[in-house]
Amino acid sequence: MLRVNGTRVGRILIDTGSSTDVIYYETLKKLHLHDQPLKPMTTPLTGFTGDQLMPMGIIDLPVTFGESPRDVVSRVSFIVINTPSPYNIILGRKALNDIGAIASTPHLKVKFPTRNGVGTLRGEQQVARVCYQASIPKQVAQIEHVGEPSKPYDQAEDILLHNPTRQAGGPMEDTEEVDMGDVKITKMGTVLPKEDRDLVRACLLSNRDIFACEGEAMPGIDRAIAEHQIATKQGMKPVTQKKRKQNWKKRKAIKAEVEKLLKIDVIREVKYPQWLANPVLVTKSNGQWRMCIDYTDLNKACPKTPFPLPSIDAMVDSTAEFKYLSFMDAYSGYNQIRMSPADEEKTSFVTEEGLYCYKVMPFGLKNAGAEYQRMVSKVFKEELGEIMEAYIDDMVVKCCTGPEHVSHLEKVFSKMRQVGMRLNPKKSFFCLSSGKFLGFIISERGIEAHPDKCQAVVNLKSPKSIKEVQGLTGRIAALSRFVSQSAMLCKPFFDVIKKKTQEFVWGPECQEAFEKIKEYLSTPPIISRPVKGEPLYLYISTNDDAISAALVREEEGIQKPVYFISRILRDAETRYPMIEKSAFAIVTAARKLRPYFQAHSIRVVTNMPLRKALGQFNVAGRLLKWAIELSEFDISYLSRTAYKSQALADFIVQGTSGSFTPVEAVWEVYVDGASSGKGTGLGVEIINPEGDRFKYALQVKFNPSHNVAEYEAFIAGLQLVAATGAKSIKVEQLIGGFDSVTIEHVPRGQNETADALSKLAKSGLDKERPITVLEIHSPSIELPEPTVFQLHHEEEWYSPIWLYLAEGILPQDKNLARKIKRWSLEFTIIEDELCKKGYHHPWLTCVGKAKAAELLKETHQGICGSHQGPRTLGKRIMRQGYYWPTLRKDAEDLVRRCAQCQFHARIDHKPPNKLKPITSPWPFDIWGMDILEPFPQAKGNLKFIVVAVEYFTKWIEVKALSLITSQKITDFLEHHIVYRYGIPHTIITDNGRQFTGTPFKNYYRGLGIEINFASVCHPQSNGLAEVSNRTILEGLKKKIEGTKNTWPEYLSEVVWAYNTTPRSATERSPYALVYGMEAVIPMEIVHPTVRTISYSTQRNAERRIKEIEMIHELREEASARQAEYQRKMRKAFDKKVTPRHYQPGDWVLRKAAAAGKHIGKLDPAWDGPFEIVKSAGERAFHLKDAQGKTLANSWNPSDLRKFYP
């Protein structure tokens, strides 16, 4: 047995004498393929006896020979005939030759090669005899062994040991050669009528001059038409690639190619090119070498040309469904355009024989494709879109009749001859009914997926890695136009790709999706092209993870697909409501298929209420944005009824979400109740989906109020619709029995029938009319005894206005009365509601204090709230149609006190206090200390630097350390500061443990040194130390040239440079302010100055004494300059200050980052709240948390924010 289209089929005749493969129409019916479109065939079949039979057409089906793992899948073109036969299929030489099969009559076997060994088909002698006997009287035999589809096969690439492949770009039908002499041989089809083929043959022979011979020089395109220039970006330097090594085979191939190109005058030799590239050899499909040039560097330097390439989809659409097609390929197309002489040497390349450059446009240049397309568009300006299509060097001439096709070819050939274009006879095919174009199969039937691309997926084995899954999704993406629900089918594959960091797992869900894809692509649908002006239909489908759409056209009552699109939903899109997902599917289709939406009216077929959602502009949010986006197209909406195409039925059934329920037919119920002294009556009119009307008048035998009468009418209407089983139930139970209930208040004019029925029932007359009259003896709902509560009534803000408008009552205060009169001009009463005139809304409903608080809270943090700011919150409430006079103030107060808004508030980077620079009255009085860390580990395990900077002179002391313990810092303070410069008055440090440890604490306390700790995460408290750290770090970066662990060797140099360089604040170097003179630096030794040339020990001693005596004046000048510098800095800083004042007892929030917490994307920026316990100076506070625990260290106001409970 064989499997045809995935189904096992028996009774197959192997006929090695037949040149064709035949399938009977009855077999197609059993396979449910009889409604598939067939390729036309006008040639009759001729039997051995000369009898002729006209076939119905040709159909391509996948056939599996053998059983896994020794099986072969081949696509067979069957000729369909409608005649009685005991056989289901006849396999002839073509199908057997395609798989390399050998049939043995004595052994009743057919054997063929596979990658896993030799596959075998065994004949059944008994069945063969039965079929033979049945064929003698020519009686119709039953088709047997057509069963359920078998499990999909997954022997991916195990097709053939020697798999002959069709030449890329070749025809999809039999061809015959056309010999034009001079070794010029092209091909033409054999399917179309002979008289038309003869006309085309004569046309080709008369235009043989436009076909090029291999190895001959071509005239090239006229330079006036096209000449390629290479523009490079400004400032790009030419790149000369070094010559790459090649093996002897490649060197030989390069040499032969260079000799050939020199012979036909395509390249020339150069001597000193600025740009130079290497040749690269790639293998052709026939196993020969193709030489290309690696222009990677040149292409990087070239800007992309803006000339657009045609739309592939539009081009394929305009080519399909033509009867006559001729496919033409330019001979070395790019090489027919000449290079600009000034740019020829930019194409230079290096070989063993020398340096060469192209005189024509070579392959591999960045803008070569656009240049060729520009030339084609210019030459065939009048023909493109009418009689031919061209995408770069792929051209096709199309027509519906033979003579007209010849006329079109003559016109195209004439244009080619005028500009000097030449065709490749080997790759050009004429007078075909179908062929490959831009990766698709086009024919009179429509557009088909390339069988090689489909077969590549069908033959794949289950992926074993992420890379193979990515390859699978890439192949499917190339066929997405033909694949219904591609994103939904591929969802398991995308989930696997997302888990890159995890172990690769190919689960059952992935395998099931893989099998579905392979089964689908074994018989992909044929795509139709739309006709100008006809309406197109859009079917949409959604589920939790993806949206899909199918664009179809209708022809003679049959709907044919035009395009399938599909898209995975991302992040927030998966949480859209179902109606928004459906709308999003339309928007996605409109963006992807914009040319179709612009050229045709689109009818969206759906059961979702999208007409109301997208057809009006009174919606909000993304629906409004989509409605505006779609308003430019002619879109209408139809209710989904019947499915007219199996492909569309599959699309809709597969894509329907489990949560989607079609809208059922709606019953309309009109009710009214009337109560007076004469009695109470109810009127109910029911209209079913078919439009039948049922009228009921109900007499109420108890005495209800008017409102109760209205409720009884509503309940009675629901009970009558429920019809069966519902006798005495409450309203909630009644509504629960329906899938959907819509209650709409209509004007009395639209409810006349129910109104008249209620009056009829109230009067108790005329029961003989064809109106059903019923009686109600007790209320439908038993109400409990009313309980009276005494309520405290608080007068609302609008009460005086209401009293004036409703009853004309004004306050006794004349001024207030005048104010109410003026104010009331903006108000009116509508349906017992006070309303105010608005600018963005016709009338704003006035609300009181309690309802205002509820509206604010719901709008700010309810289901539709997103914690907007007070201004946005107030605008949104007013746009929704509500008003009260303190709306802005109430919104500000609510937002200010909202906990979520406070914890997630933006961080204000403006300083809260004015700048207060630290000033030192005398040298070595105030020092700042800090740690620089960590550095690359150096010799002696050195990784840290302790830095001390003196605030008056800016003098720096440093030391490299391996550890930064409290004892190490104490030793540094003792030996580098105290022993050298005396005991300081104050030291400023951060809150590091090395500065708060016991050894350091005991030392500074013993010497009476005052320690000021900077606030947490506020380095400005010790700003000079931070600036010094930055200077040291930058100096080390620039000094180090070799390995980074040599930084201690340069530390002294950097510090020495800092101490001998004048500072901006004092205009003196730290060295001069410490020692009273400038230091002698190495530059003065290399290039002597006056003081080094005329050096004298006695004179130097006298000068030093004078400088030391004048050092006090020098320091006073520096102090004055520093004060002026700090004044300017303070003036600039204070302009940015936004004052924030805190005092003990205030509740504040603290920056979460300042507390050392990791802040994620969705984490709050603030934590707390904390209470201020006391102030630590003017600019720092001590805090305690809500449990009363005091926090360590002090906190600067810039890291705090006031909290409103």
Are 1048 and 990 in a shared domain?
yes
Q: How far is CA 1113 from CA 312, 710, 1107, 1110, in A?
A: 85, 102, 10, 5
pLDDT over 60 (residue 730): no
Strands, DSSP E only, in 256-348?
267-269, 279-283, 289-293, 324-329, 338-339
640, 663, 686 — which closes off a domain? Answer: 663
Determine the pLDDT at residue 315. 82
pLDDT over 80 (residue 707): no
Determine the pLDDT at residue 402. 77
Are 841 and 866 in a shared domain?
yes
pLDDT over 80 (residue 752): no
Write the single-letter amino acid at 903.
Answer: F
More confident residue, 1043 or 827: 827
Q: How far apart are CA 648 and CA 463, in angstroms?
A: 30
pLDDT tens-place string over residues 298-344: 999 999 888 888 888 888 888 887 888 888 888 888 888 999 999 99
Determine the pLDDT at residue 358. 92
Are 739 and 634 in a shared domain?
no
Are 1065 and 939 in a shared domain?
yes
More confident residue, 1076 or 848: 848
Two structure tokens written together for 493: 């594959």
Q: Which of 267-276, 736-745, 1175-1184 has the lowest mean pLDDT?
A: 736-745
For residue 502, the domain's CATH number is: 3.30.70
Determine the pLDDT at residue 351. 92
Are 341 and 412 in a shared domain?
yes
For residue 388, the domain's CATH number is: 3.10.10.10
Q: Are 588 and 576 in contact (CB under 8 A)?
A: no
Are 882 and 947 in a shared domain?
no
pLDDT over 50 (residue 150): no
More confident residue, 611 or 793: 611
Are 255 and 394 in a shared domain?
yes
pLDDT over 80 (residue 24): yes
Determine the pLDDT at residue 679. 66
Q: Which of 111-120, 522-531, 614-623, 1069-1078 has the lowest mean pLDDT?
A: 614-623
Residue 880: CA atoms inside 13 Å, Cβ hemisphere, count? 15
Judged on CB neighbours under 10 Å (0-12, 13-18, 19+), 1164 is middle
Average pLDDT taken over every residue of the chain: 77
Are 1051 and 946 in a shared domain?
yes
Is 181 among the domain residues? Answer: yes
- Rounded to 5 degrees, φ, ψ at 1011 are -110, 125
pLDDT above 70 covers a percentage of the chain that reads: 78
Can you give the pTM of this predicted structure?
0.45
For residue 1175, the domain's CATH number is: 2.30.30.140
pLDDT over 80 (residue 834): yes
Tally Cβ neighbours within 10 Å of residue 799: 13
Q: Which of 119-133, 763-777, 861-875 has the lowest mean pLDDT?
A: 763-777
Residue 874 lies in domain = 799-897
Are 1010 and 1079 in a shared domain?
yes
Determine the pLDDT at residue 59. 92
Contacts of 711-714 with CB under 8 Å at 24 or more apart are: 711/673, 711/780, 711/781, 712/673, 712/682, 712/776, 712/779, 712/780, 713/671, 713/672, 713/673, 713/682, 713/683, 713/684, 713/754, 713/758, 714/671
Is 1009 among the domain residues? Answer: yes
**Average of pLDDT values for 1008-1017?**
76
* Highest mean pLDDT, choosing among 172-176, 183-187, 714-718, 755-759: 183-187
Is 1062 among the domain residues? Answer: yes
Q: How far is CA 237 from CA 135, 274, 362, in A?
A: 81, 9, 22
**Average of pLDDT values for 914-928?**
76
482, 502, 525 — which closes off a domain? Answer: 525
Number of domains the chain contains:
8
* Highest mean pLDDT, choosing among 245-254, 609-618, 749-758, 1030-1039: 245-254
pLDDT above 90 covers a percentage of the chain that reads: 5
Q: How confident is the model at residue 525 (pLDDT cuts 50, 70, 90)?
A: confident
Q: Who's near 79: CB < 8 A, 6+ residues apart? A: 20, 21, 22, 23, 41, 45, 55, 57, 58
Are 250 and 392 in a shared domain?
yes
Is 475 among the domain residues? Answer: yes
Are 1194 and 1055 in a shared domain?
no
Is 915 among the domain residues? Answer: no
501, 525, 549 — which closes off a domain? Answer: 525
Tally Cβ neighbours within 10 Å of residue 311: 12
* Highest mean pLDDT, choosing among 353-357, 527-531, 604-608: 353-357
Task: Please name which of 75, 72, 86, 83 lies closest in space to residue 11, comparing C-alpha atoms.
Answer: 86
Q: How confident is the model at residue 286 (pLDDT cuts 50, 70, 90)?
A: low
Three-state DSSP at 128 gives helix
Is 1024 among the domain residues? Answer: yes
For residue 1056, the domain's CATH number is: 3.30.420.10
Are 244 and 191 in a shared domain?
yes
- Rounded to 5 degrees, φ, ψ at 963 are -130, 150
For residue 40, the domain's CATH number is: 2.40.70.10
**DSSP assignment of 942-960:** --EEEEEEETTT--EEEEE
Determine the pLDDT at residue 1024. 79
Is 905 among the domain residues? Answer: no
Q: How confident is the model at residue 157 (pLDDT cuts 50, 70, 90)?
A: very low
Determine the pLDDT at residue 347. 93
Is 907 among the domain residues? Answer: no
For residue 823, the domain's CATH number is: 1.10.340.70
Determine the pLDDT at residue 523. 79
More confident residue, 1108 or 413: 413
Q: How far is CA 210 from CA 164, 227, 266, 419, 788, in A?
A: 32, 20, 19, 11, 105
C-alpha Rg value of the chain to the nearest Å? 46
Angle, vertex CA 792, rays to CA 787 and CA 797, nearest 5? 130
Number of H helices, E strands in the chain: 37, 50
Task: Please name which of 1128, 1104, 1124, 1127 lies closest in space to residue 1116, comparing C-alpha atoms.
Answer: 1124
